[in-house]
Amino acid sequence: MFPESNSGYSYEDCKATADWLLAQTDIRPAVGVVCGSGLGGLADMLKDQVAFNYKDIPNFPQSTVHGHAGRLVFGTLKGRPCVCMQGRFHLYEGYPIQKITLPMRIFKLLGVETVILTNAAGGLNQDFKVGDIMIMKDHLNMPGFAGNNPLAGPNDERFGVRFPCMSDAYDRELQQLAMDVGQELGYADFLKEGVYCVLGGPSFETIAECRMLQKLGADAVGMSTVHEAIVARHCGIRVFALSLITNQAVTDYDSEEKANHEEVLQIGKLRAEQLERLVSTMVTRIEHNFA
């Protein structure tokens, strides 16, 4: 029915990885964080760290992209137990889509209830500036339109249902919390909200593609996050996601601008401190509001 290579890891494989991790640390994380390109500093916020290189974790893929360190870090954030992926996996690295989203299922089996997904993205919305932080309120899943969805293949009901709803993919209470925290921290000028569109990459978009994505209602474009959000929602994890706008998508044939990964990483460094403060304050409030 489904080709074997498409089926990803079984429930038992995910459980074996989660049990292996749980045997190495006493930390029982309620919150999982995924660091986007150049945003790995978020993991450095954790206290009492227990860290694993991806290469040492059974069944885990390896990070191959500059700006993604390839470490899974357990620790506490203002007393709250967390786990943080310092580096994520992307379709363009050549992994099957089920493999790049495997960590979400491992998070679930570790006891994670909320994930905070972060990414670097190109700004399509003309009102966005480089350095803006966009709270994701929805997504456009372009690889999904072409049949490349991380839930394709046999469905294991122990994770979730065959046809999960995605109209509530991004938790509205957490979006509001991010807005409130952002206001309090004085971030109102650069805190935005919008729709993120995922593409396969690794080539950046053409001008015609950027114009098309604008017409489709996308505010930002990138190569990640959406697959993780789908798998996390499928297994009942609450999702909050944000994009750091690291470059403006080029929509004008007269423009001299050219998207490049080094600039993406550079902008990540410039906003690192504010992002860390936003995420860490949110984590304390999630405990306060929902635990």
C-alpha to C-alpha distance for 218 and 213, rounded to whole angstroms:
6
Give me the active site residues, please: 37, 68, 90, 92-93, 120, 223-224, 247, 261
Q: Which DSSP category does 202 fall into?
A: S
Which residue of this chain has its Cβ atom nearest to ligand GUN in the complex?
A: 122
Question: Look-up: residue for tokens 């489709």?
Answer: 216
Which residue in 222, 235, 241, 249 binds ligand R1P (CB under 6 A)?
222
Which residue in 45, 117, 121, 178 binds ligand GUN (CB under 6 A)?
121
Smallest gap from Cβ 119 to ligand GUN, in A, equals 7
Question: Look-up: residue for tokens 């992994």?
Answer: 95
**Binder of residue 221, out of ligand GUN, ligand R1P, none (CB less than 5 to 8 A by kind):** ligand GUN
Cis peptide before 202 (omega within 30 of 0): yes
Residue 22's nearest CA partner among 70, 67, 83, 66 is 83
264 part of the interface to ligand R1P, by CB under 6 A:
yes
Binding-site members are 37, 68, 88-90, 120, 205, 224, 247
Specify the residue, 18 or 116, whose C-beta has the smaller distance to ligand R1P: 116
Specify the residue, 247 or 274, whose C-beta has the smaller distance to ligand GUN: 247
**Binder of residue 247, out of ligand R1P, ligand GUN, none (CB less than 5 to 8 A by kind):** ligand GUN
152 part of the interface to ligand GUN, by CB under 6 A:
no
- Letters for 118-157 (x = contact with ligand R1P by CB under 6 A, - = none) are -xx-------------------------------------
- Is the Cβ–Cβ distance between 245 and 220 less than 8 Å? yes
Binding-site members for phosphate are 37, 68, 88-90, 120, 224
C-alpha to C-alpha distance for 257 and 259, rounded to whole angstroms:
7
**Binder of residue 224, out of ligand GUN, ligand R1P, none (CB less than 5 to 8 A by kind):** ligand R1P
C-alpha to C-alpha distance for 120 and 37, rounded to whole angstroms:
6
36 part of the interface to ligand R1P, by CB under 6 A:
yes
Q: Are strands 133-141 and 114-123 parallel, antiparallel or unpaired?
A: unpaired
**CB neighbours of 264 closer than 8 A, spacing ≥ 6?**
37, 38, 67, 120, 246, 247
Residue 270's nearest CA partner among 249, 251, 244, 248 is 244
**Binder of residue 75, out of ligand GUN, ligand R1P, none (CB less than 5 to 8 A by kind):** none
